[in-house]
A and B are shown apart, each in its own frame.
Chain A
Amino acid sequence: MLLAYDRLGGLRVALWCITGLVSAFLLLPIVFIAALSFGSSQWLVFPPPSWTMKWYQQVFSDPRWLESTWTSFQIAVLVTIASVLLALPASFALVRGSFPGKHVLRGLFMTPMVMPVVVFAVALYALFLRVGLSGTMLGFIIAHTILAFPFALIAISNSLQGFDKAIEDAAVLCGATPLQAKLRITLPAIRLGVLAAALFSFLMSWDEVVVAIFMASPTLQTLPVRIWGALRQDLSPAIAAVSTLLVLTTLAAMLAAAIVRKAIAK
């Protein structure tokens, strides 16, 4: 009864009301900033007295916004490469290896995902101050790779788990070297897992703010650090414009993911 949609009766109306309200609650801030970013009011009066594109012009003509976007992009790309290159062999070890402490190792690899980011950020910040990696690109890449690595590992391990090793063995029996077999048989077979790993790693780094706040210097800032800094000063509508652009990239990524999923289903 309670799990039959057609027989809920009045309860259905109640559940729909709550779901509608929650959906509105989840959409409200997103729609709101999009609207504000086109509003003319410096003081974020809503509804805006008139509409304008000036905040977007301001963002696109400010070299600091562009610079930090470029920095974020570079770091995210390098983190993606590093995280996939580390997670690929590590997945082979975790899925196919049998050695003492394998579960401990897996637990260690997953810890950066579950521990509070601020603890990791503070700890790494202390180390980087000593070894001179604070405020460097390399520091950013190391920090974000550690955070992205568990997500990449899950994605690749899961698809490797579903791949029949006998196919790889067959290639070796036919004369391929083990490495050739892995690169030309196994890797193409688990490519979707690798793709997902790359996507997660990129997004992880692109959106990450807590560690980035500690790693950044006045001259090296990612986009989230720049937004964070701006937010602490004032609530300028330029931030609404940047936020709206970020929402658009999110929508584009969701659309791309949906298209890929459809393509696979076919």
Chain B
Amino acid sequence: MTQASISDRPRSQWNGAKPALPALALLLAFFVLPVAGLLLRSLTEPQFGLQNYAELVATTTYARVIFNTFLVSGVVTVVALVIGYPVAWLLAIMPQRAASIVFGIIVLSMWTNLLARTYAWMVLLQRTGVINKTLMEIGIIDQPLPLVNNLIGVTIGMVYIMLPFIILPLHATMRSIDPAILNAAALCGAGRWESFRRVLLPLSAPGAAAGALMVFVMSLGYYVTPSLLGGTANMMLAGIIAQLVQSLLNWGLGGAAAFVLLVVTLSLYALQVRYLEGRGTLQGVR
């Protein structure tokens, strides 16, 4: 065994790249190639050109689906942020024992099979479901509210799924804030509200932004929950892509919709990597 083979002295420009080749081959053949193929079909079927993209924007149905997708994702993000923020805050400072119980609940809900959770919401929210029945018994409403097969149902189900993705990164950011800074603010005469608005909120903003952006992007492409809770009349982008391809066999239009979703998603991720890198969310990913 010679010294040269042990040390990291570069033997060629491609030093050490070889072990990644099997994975690279798999990804090229079954990831890059099919995605490129789909893009190509969106530009060539039925004939070459941008007609599929034009149809996507010009058709009211599809334009509304795109609008709904952004609307629901936005509302889900805001709601999850507003109710997740206090939880992340308290989690960061509460006694260890209590915190581990709350953490256990968050992780359990996150790890429970997605379909199982969605099924529960389908049953809970239906016309004769527990929520409607309880509300009617208390006397808040006298007609059952339509909570499922519409965008309200989708929003409730999505907030449920996305909450952990806000709470966990935000909690990490909150923990990294030095409590002494808040004490200093108090010593300098800042009241509670002022300390919150001018110290805690700005310091926790990067974590909140990272979590919110991730939740927004994940919501944009979500398929299962919107399809089951929204019904056929309230599809989101992912649902319409699946329908175009599976039932209508319109690969051109389906490919175009898929490509719009892909470009939006990857651009937002690029934004996240560029401006929020290492501030909470994707810790350990890169």
Residues of A in contact with B (beta carbons under 8 Å apart): 1-5, 8, 11-12, 14-16, 18-19, 22-23, 25-30, 32-33, 36, 43-46, 86-87, 89-90, 92-94, 96-100, 102, 105-106, 108-127, 142-143, 145-146, 149, 153-154, 158, 169, 172-173, 175, 177-178, 203, 207, 209-210, 213-214, 224, 227-228, 231-232, 235, 239-240, 242-244, 246-247, 250-251, 253-254
Report if A1-B192 is in contact (Cβ < 8 Å); known contacts: A19-B90, A19-B102.
yes
Q: How far is the CA of A1 from the CA of B95 in the complex (A)?
A: 16
B217 — nearest CB in chain A belongs to which residue? A114
Q: How far is the CA of A13 from the CA of B27 in the complex (A)?
A: 52
CB atoms of B196 and A2 under 8 A apart: yes
Q: List 21 A-B contacts (CB under 8 A).
A: A2-B195, A22-B83, A22-B84, A26-B160, A27-B108, A30-B112, A87-B23, A90-B22, A97-B17, A97-B19, A99-B16, A105-B20, A114-B266, A116-B238, A116-B265, A118-B258, A123-B37, A154-B285, A228-B224, A231-B228, A254-B104
CB atoms of A246 and B113 under 8 A apart: yes
CB atoms of A3 and B200 under 8 A apart: yes
Which residues of the partner chain B approach A90 to less than 8 Å between Cβ atoms?
19-20, 22-24
**Is B186 in contact with chain A by the CB < 8 A criterion?**
yes
Q: Which of A1, A44, A45, A125 contacts B245 (CB 8 A)?
A: A125
Given A4-B182, A15-B90, A90-B23, 18 further pairs, Cβ under 8 A? A2-B199, A3-B92, A3-B200, A5-B94, A5-B95, A18-B86, A93-B17, A99-B14, A109-B27, A116-B238, A116-B261, A149-B26, A169-B6, A172-B1, A209-B115, A224-B113, A240-B123, A253-B111
Q: How far is the CA of A19 from the CA of B115 in the complex (A)?
A: 25
Which residues of the partner chain B approach A247 to less than 8 Å between Cβ atoms?
108, 112-113, 116
Q: How far is the CA of A126 from the CA of B241 in the complex (A)?
A: 13
**Is B185 in contact with chain A by the CB < 8 A criterion?**
yes
**Is B141 in contact with chain A by the CB < 8 A criterion?**
no
CB atoms of A29 and B241 under 8 A apart: no
Which residues of the partner chain A approach B129 to less than 8 Å between Cβ atoms?
46
B238 — nearest CB in chain A belongs to which residue? A118
Which residues of the partner chain A approach B34 to less than 8 Å between Cβ atoms?
120, 123-124, 126-127
Shortest B181–chain A CB gap in Å is 8
B179 — nearest CB in chain A belongs to which residue? A3
CB atoms of B123 and A154 under 8 A apart: no
Which residues of the partner chain B approach A173 to less than 8 Å between Cβ atoms?
1, 6
Report if A114-B27 is in contact (Cβ < 8 Å); known contacts: A22-B83, A231-B119.
no
Q: How far is the CA of A28 from the CA of B120 in the complex (A)?
A: 9
CB atoms of B120 and A243 under 8 A apart: yes
Q: Which of A11, A27, A115, A142 contacts B192 (CB 8 A)?
A: A11
Q: How far is the CA of A26 from the CA of B112 in the complex (A)?
A: 11
Which residues of the partner chain B approach A169 to less than 8 Å between Cβ atoms?
6-7
Which residues B85-99 have CB closer than 8 A to chain A? Answer: 86-87, 89-95
CB atoms of A111 and B177 under 8 A apart: no
Shortest A66–chain B CB gap in Å is 17
Q: Report the interface size for chain B: residues with CB under 8 A from the other chain.
A: 104
CB atoms of B163 and A116 under 8 A apart: no
Residues of B in contact with A (beta carbons under 8 Å apart): 1, 5-8, 10, 13-20, 22-24, 26-27, 30-35, 37-38, 41, 83-84, 86-87, 89-95, 102, 104-109, 111-124, 126, 128-130, 133, 160, 163-164, 174, 177, 179, 182-183, 185-186, 192, 195-196, 199-200, 217, 220-221, 223-224, 228, 238, 241-242, 245-246, 251, 254-255, 258-259, 261-262, 265-266, 269, 284-286
Which residues of the partner chain A approach B119 to less than 8 Å between Cβ atoms?
33, 227, 231, 235, 239-240, 243
Which residues of the partner chain B approach A96 to less than 8 Å between Cβ atoms?
8, 16
Which residues of the partner chain B approach A116 to less than 8 Å between Cβ atoms?
220-221, 223, 238, 261-262, 265
Which residues of the partner chain A approach B220 to less than 8 Å between Cβ atoms?
116
Which residues of the partner chain A approach B37 to less than 8 Å between Cβ atoms?
123, 126-127
Shortest A68–chain B CB gap in Å is 12
CB atoms of B258 and A123 under 8 A apart: yes
CB atoms of A98 and B16 under 8 A apart: yes
Q: How far is the CA of A228 from the CA of B92 in the complex (A)?
A: 37
CB atoms of B254 and A122 under 8 A apart: yes
A168 — nearest CB in chain B belongs to which residue? B6
Report if A119-B261 is in contact (Cβ < 8 Å); known contacts: A99-B15, A172-B6.
yes
CB atoms of B182 and A92 under 8 A apart: no
A113 — nearest CB in chain B belongs to which residue? B285
Shortest A60–chain B CB gap in Å is 18
Shortest B218–chain A CB gap in Å is 9
Which residues of the partner chain B approach A232 to less than 8 Å between Cβ atoms?
228
Shortest B110–chain A CB gap in Å is 9
CB atoms of B115 and A18 under 8 A apart: no
Q: Which of B30, B107, B183, B266 contacts A146 (CB 8 A)?
A: B30
CB atoms of B245 and A122 under 8 A apart: yes
